[in-house]
Structure 1
Amino acid sequence: MRRSLFLTVAAATTMVLLAMLVPMAVLLRSYVLEDRLAQAALEVQATETIVSSGDTGRINLYLEAANAGDGPLTTVVWPDGRTIGPEPAAAEATRIAQARATGTARVDDVDGGSVILVPVSLGRSTAAADETPVVRVFVPAPGWESDLVRSWAILLALGLVLLAGALLLADRLGRSFVTPMRDLASYAARLGVDGHPTVPPPGGPAEVHELGVALHRLVGRVETLLERERAGIADVSHRLRTPMTSLRLGVDGLASPDERARLGADLDELQATVDAVVREARRSEREGLTGVVDGVSVLAERVGWWVPLAEDQGRPLDLRVEVAGPVVVRAGADDLVALVDVLLDNVFTHTPDDAAVRVVVGAAPKGGVRLVVEDAGPGLPDGDVVDRGASRGGSTGLGLSIADRTASESGGRLELGRSTRLGGARVVVELGAG
């Protein structure tokens, strides 16, 4: 918008200046020509006085002095063809003869300027045409003389100053529109990412001010709705704990150990699901709309948390970090922890205790982090494992769908296959760069 306004004002101002300055420059040139013609008329009068005396020597001296400068060039043309001064062009012979015959002065445009022709009476009562000399004054057209060039330069400088002033005004006007809108756009882009970004002060034109006020009001309403939703979910979670506690007491009172174990596992899974739903509902409050975290450190640390369990089972667990330094990904720390828990829980639950596990944390081809989990178990079953899979180890209760959702929300992908190195399942999760 600012650039468009700047270019529009520049184009409009340039057209207006050209419409004004070009005619003024032509008018200045006309004024210079008229001034020269006026000077030439005075020169004609002085020459006419000298020529009327009939003294050829005096005429020669006068014309030599008159033609010595840069002004008009004066010539006296006698009836017999003699000339004193610069020789006129052959094309002017007809005009000179007409002026002599009519006895009337005339001004004609010729190449390079104008010519004034004035017949001169020699003082007799009746002068015949063949006895009348003609004074010819050639007035050159204005060229690149210093005075005219200086006037044109002043006009050009004035035009440039006006253009610069108009562009400066357009830039200030555009900035008064663009800066408040850019602040509002930056504020809107940070919503949900930076927690509670600083609200820009309403400013700019009335329309932009109204937009800012409406946006602030909308943000307040959304925050109120989100807060009510979080409070409602927390209230539901709190209300569920009492009946769940009663159920657990009832399960503990069962006589059959198998029934107690089965129902207790179901209650544990239900409790984990409720906790996961509450954490998910409050995640935006903690991390913003899109969380960002160092994926390498979080993934490596969480894999290390599983090492003691692998050692207890006698399971070889090989962790390799193939990327140096922190790599920020578009995911929250809780999401990455749940991702590792799901993948390793599936391995520990569905493979023999001595089946090897290999975890590689590297760089993704398009930026971000690439997590590869391979095992020496029987591999993944046929079918849509992502949709139907569910972890029964009590970690999250959401199965491989957590891995798929975490990968897709970060801008990455989930790939399932068979490991050529260990022979079992191979899960690849690519997390998009933050």
Structure 2
Amino acid sequence: MRRSLILTVGATVAVVLLALLIPIAVLLRSYALEDRLSRAALEVQATESVVSGQASDLGAVAHYLDRINSADEGIITTVYYPPSTEHPEGLIVGPDDAREDERIREARRTGQARIDDVEGGAEFLVPVSLGGVNARPEDTPVVRVQVYEESFPSPVHRAWLVLGLLGLVVFGAALVLADRLGRSFVQPIRSLAQRAQQLGTHGHAEPITVEGPAEVAELGAALNRLVVRIEALLVREREGVADLSHRLRTPITALRLGIDSLTDPTERARLSADADRLQAMVDDVVREARRGQREGLIATADAGAVVRERCAFWQPLAEDQRRPFTVTAPETPVLVAVSVEDVAALLDVLLDNVFSHTPEGAGIVVSLSAREGGGAIVEVGDDGPGFPDGVDVSARGASGAGSTGLGLSIAARTAAVAGGSVGIGSSASGGACVRVELGPPQ
């Protein structure tokens, strides 16, 4: 917006300046030429008086022409005397050594002054009457005054330079003003955007105070109202989740007490497994419902640090069961788009599956690597019998090995939240291997 405003103002001011300065420059040039023509007309009259008054003193005429021609380089005055006994070819007094042309002879013959346009200017031709009874037209000297454009630098050129500098100053001032004006618009919007990006993090969102145009202030007020409504909905959701957890745990506890009172061991074991599965599902639902409260809208975790910490937690159990436990994780941060709690829960369920469904002594290999394009790849392999046929990583209760099936479904859901995926396969030793890809934070 700010850049667009500057470009728009700059283009508009440039067009206006060109529309004004170019005609002014042309007018200045025209006025300068008209001024020279006026001075040339006065020069013609003065030269005519000198020539007619000093008809016999050519030296005085030559001195006068030298003086006036040296005073103004844009106006050249020359006197053409007709042929005489002393000067059969005629006499030219002045700086122009060109011979007479047909226009000069015509002006002498007709006795009429004329103005002609010539290359680079104009030319005055004025016959000078010397008086006398026996004066003939062919004896009339002719004054020629040539008017040319002044060479650089001239007053016109200096005026053009001043106009150009003035235009640059106006153009620069317009750009600075547009930048300041754009800043007054953009800065409040930028502050509003930065504050909006902070929404959804932990803690209460303070009301936004927006300064600037009325429209931006109105947008800030609308965002404040939206935040209040969202927080009210979140509070209601958290209260509902807490109430749901309390209401579900009470009948589950009563169900467990009823199961424990059964006398049939087989039936008691079957119903206890069902109660355990139900309890795990309830815990998973409550945990997912509390995700927003726990991590906010923007979750980030260092997967490498979490992998090292959770593997250190499981290491003593692996030692008790004489399991080789290999962990590979880089020391440099590997950021993923899920919370620390979710990465920890993901690794815990995968390791719990290994400890629960492989014999003691079976080795475990955990590796973490950076994913191309950002994120991480977590692999958990073992030396056990491998996965049974028909395992679905996205479904609960379908592991085919007597477990609840929640482990792989939790891993798949966590990977989906992070923009990744889960795959199962075989490890290098022929056992099971789970590969989880987690995307980078946005």
TM-score normalized by the length of structure 2: 0.89
With over 3 angstroms needed to count, the CA separation of the structure-2 counterparts of 1:19 and 1:349, relative to structure 1, is same
Name 1:75's counterpart in structure 2.
78
- In structure 2, give the amino acid aligned to 1:62: Y
Name 1:58's counterpart in structure 2.
60
Residues 300, 339 of structure 2: 8 Å contact kept: yes
Residues 272, 394 of structure 1: 8 Å contact kept: no
3-state SS of 2:247 partner: helix
2:393 is aligned with 1:386? yes
Name 2:86's counterpart in structure 1.
none
2:238 is aligned with 1:230? yes
For residues 117 and 196 of structure 1, the distance between their equivalents in structure 2, rounded to whole angstroms, comes to 95
Residues 208, 221 of structure 2: 8 Å contact kept: no
The CA RMSD measured in Å over matched residues stands at: 2.6
2:373 is aligned with 1:366? yes
Identity of aligned residues (%): 56
- In structure 2, give the amino acid aligned to 1:241: R
With over 3 angstroms needed to count, the CA separation of the structure-2 counterparts of 1:69 and 1:194, relative to structure 1, is farther
Residues 390, 400 of structure 2: 8 Å contact kept: no
Of 411, 426, 431, the match for 2:433:
426
Give how far 1:397 is off: 6.3
Give how far 1:265 is off: 3.3
Residues 123, 146 of structure 2: 8 Å contact kept: yes
- In structure 2, give the amino acid aligned to 1:339: L
Give how far 1:379 is off: 1.3
3-state SS of 1:417 partner: strand
Q: List alignment gaps of at least 5 residues for structure 1.
A: none
TM-score normalized by the length of structure 1: 0.91
3-state SS of 2:108 partner: helix
Residues 29, 142 of structure 1: 8 Å contact kept: no
Give how far 1:389 is off: 5.2
Deviations along 1:57-79, one digit per CA (max 9) or x if unpaired, are 22122222222334321100123
For residues 114 and 220 of structure 2, the distance between their equivalents in structure 1, rounded to whole angstroms, comes to 76
Deviations along 1:377-406, one digit per CA (max 9) or x if unpaired, are 121223352023547999996220211222
With over 3 angstroms needed to count, the CA separation of the structure-2 counterparts of 1:428 and 1:397, relative to structure 1, is closer
Residues 67, 74 of structure 1: 8 Å contact kept: yes
Residues 185, 212 of structure 2: 8 Å contact kept: yes
Deviations along 1:173-219, one digit per CA (max 9) or x if unpaired, are 22222222222333333322465555542233222222222222222
Name 1:401's counterpart in structure 2.
409
Deviations along 1:132-159, one digit per CA (max 9) or x if unpaired, are 2111111111332242222111111111
Runs of 4+ in 1 over 6 A off after TM superposition: 391-397
Residues 187, 199 of structure 1: 8 Å contact kept: no
Of 84, 91, 99, the match for 2:93:
84
Residues 115, 125 of structure 2: 8 Å contact kept: yes
- In structure 2, give the amino acid aligned to 1:404: A
Mean CA deviation greater in 116-125 or 292-301: 116-125
- In structure 1, give the amino acid aligned to 2:123: V
3-state SS of 2:152 partner: coil
Residues 393, 422 of structure 2: 8 Å contact kept: no
Give how far 1:122 is off: 0.7
With over 3 angstroms needed to count, the CA separation of the structure-2 counterparts of 1:259 and 1:349, relative to structure 1, is same
Q: List alignment gaps of at least 5 residues for structure 2.
A: 84-89
3-state SS of 1:117 partner: strand
3-state SS of 1:314 partner: coil
With over 3 angstroms needed to count, the CA separation of the structure-2 counterparts of 1:314 and 1:261, relative to structure 1, is farther
Count of paired positions: 431
Name 1:248's counterpart in structure 2.
256
Q: How does 1:10-409 map to 2 (within 5 A)?
A: 10-53=10-53, 54=55, 55-71=57-73, 72-80=75-83, 81-87=90-96, 93-124=101-132, 127-193=135-201, 196=204, 199-321=207-329, 323-388=330-395, 390=397, 398-409=406-417
For residues 99 and 200 of structure 1, the distance between their equivalents in structure 2, rounded to whole angstroms, comes to 90
Residues 273, 397 of structure 1: 8 Å contact kept: no
Give how far 1:125 is off: 5.7
Give how far 1:267 is off: 2.5
Residues 241, 290 of structure 2: 8 Å contact kept: no
For residues 343 and 249 of structure 1, the distance between their equivalents in structure 2, rounded to whole angstroms, comes to 31
3-state SS of 2:393 partner: helix
Give how far 1:127 is off: 4.5
Name 1:415's counterpart in structure 2.
423
For residues 15 and 382 of structure 1, the distance between their equivalents in structure 2, rounded to whole angstroms, comes to 76
- In structure 2, give the amino acid aligned to 1:5: L
With over 3 angstroms needed to count, the CA separation of the structure-2 counterparts of 1:132 and 1:170, relative to structure 1, is same
Give how far 1:20 is off: 0.5
